[in-house]
Structure 1
């Protein structure tokens, strides 16, 4: 991929996010894109700052039913606010590209559409406490059953969402595709059912076209 044009002093950096169901390969593709851009900062949600990483441990491990949808929404919003203040905004102000594995769109789908129909509250909290949208969002799309099998096979303890099963994966996929239509100015749907290199090449080409 061609290197981006140098930025003028004081110019805000670009904010690029990756979204998709668990096991879709979005984290891998976020890492690959960030590695291909000399100025990029790779980060993730929930997490990306010291406080947000502590909240990540609370919500992604342990009993998946211990938090109500409303409490979960507040936890994710608190993590995002800290991440925004401590990591994202300073990097953008320095003119760096920020590549983030998940951002507010995940909350819109997981907590807003599948965990109690809280989308209106998600949007209200986002407007009040976050007020930032990505410049570009890649939604990695793939078959929910295949993605679920990948996610369950991962050797980590953060199985918070995989434990909800195929039904959730299917609804989340539908939610992301609907969201891509709603925010078509910034969302690009990428076929994640191909080999890793082909997906990365597609992302690079789509980014270059923007």
Structure 2
């Protein structure tokens, strides 16, 4: 079963991945971008080099295709839990026609969508508070409104691809979020 944790920056995905490693020690944990060696190199270029937005989109698509071929496909009989997926890839890349972007992402993963998406959602006040407590990276510097726009796009594309999804408020306690995610995964496995 292929489960992904989605959400904008500071939503708590990384924290939950660490907690879920304790709950599901036999699962395969991965991430996009950067779940493979090639993906790590592509991620480094995409996030830290001065490149055009279109080039960045193609690097993330290349990462997604490599990730699917090397991680998702060979382990499709196991529980795979991924930090992000095509939904973030589409949502963050708002520089290309949506339908074309959707088709390119589907092509990269052979139209194999996750079995379940856990979307960690932030409201405006919580996002603002979390961003104020850290030094923002390149993406977080875009600001609250842009990140909320991206969150709405993630939800839009999950719905558009008819992917099963559970939305959880990131304002819940870390323990409660882990409990909700664990329960949902166990219901499906």
Pick from 107, 121, 140 the counterpart of residue 120 of structure 2.
Answer: 140
1:104 aligns with 2:86: yes
* Match in the other structure for 1:175: 153
Displacement of 1:154 in angstroms is 4.8
> Over aligned residues, Cα RMSD in angstroms?
2.2
Matched, 1:69 2:53: yes
State the Cα distance separating 1:84 from its structure 2 match: 1.6
TM-score (norm 1): 0.79
Runs of 4+ in 1 over 4 A off after TM superposition: 151-155
Higher-Rg member (1/2): 1
Match of 1:199 in 2: 177
Q: Secondary structure at the match of 1:42?
A: strand
Partner in structure 2 of residue 45 of structure 1: 32
Q: How does 1:22-171 map onto structure 2 within 5 Å?
A: 22-62=9-49, 66-92=50-76, 95-111=77-93, 115-131=94-110, 132-147=112-127, 149-151=129-131, 153-154=133-134, 159-171=137-149
Whether the aligned pair in 1 keeps the contact of 2:4 and 2:118 (CA below 8 Å) is yes
Q: 1:184 to 1:133 in 2, by over 3 A?
A: closer
Check 1:135–1:34 CA distance in 2 against 1; reply closer, same or farther (3 A cut).
farther
Query: Would you tell me which structure has more helix in proportion to its own residues?
Result: 2
| Contact 1:142–1:192 under 8 Å retained in 2 | yes
Distance 2:40 2:179 in 1: 31
